[in-house]
Amino acid sequence: MSEPVVLINLFEVPAADAEQFIAEWEKARDYLETQPGYVDTVLHQALAPEAGFQFVNVARWSSPEEFAAAIRSPGFQQTSAGMARYGAHPALYRVVRT
């Protein structure tokens, strides 16, 4: 029953922290793109600085199992430590219509 999935992660980041957040996100991305099941990722920044979620990451993975294994790995724990200060709301989705 495995299927391709899309991680959508909503981040609460103060406008003043945007550059720092992007640098931290890149560290985690550089690690995750080496992991089995990674397909691609797009980081979006809100046009309005007062948006509730200033950043939204949309990442495709080959299966929920491979995504889960990647974020459980010590490498992810290390490379994502700098993002822990920001509120994050991740959930897994499937594509239902285009």
| Residue 25 binds a second copy, judged by CB under 8 A | yes
- Site track for a second copy across 73-92, x = CB under 8 A: ----------------x-xx
What are the C-alpha distances in Å from 41 to residues 5, 44, 56? 12, 10, 11
Tell the smallest beta-carbon distance from residue 20 to a second copy (Å).
Answer: 13
What are the structure tokens assigned to 1, written together? 């029953």
What are the structure tokens assigned to 37, written together? 């099941």
Residues that bind a second copy (CB under 8 A): 5-6, 8, 10, 22, 25-26, 29, 40-48, 51-53, 55-56, 58, 64, 89, 91-98
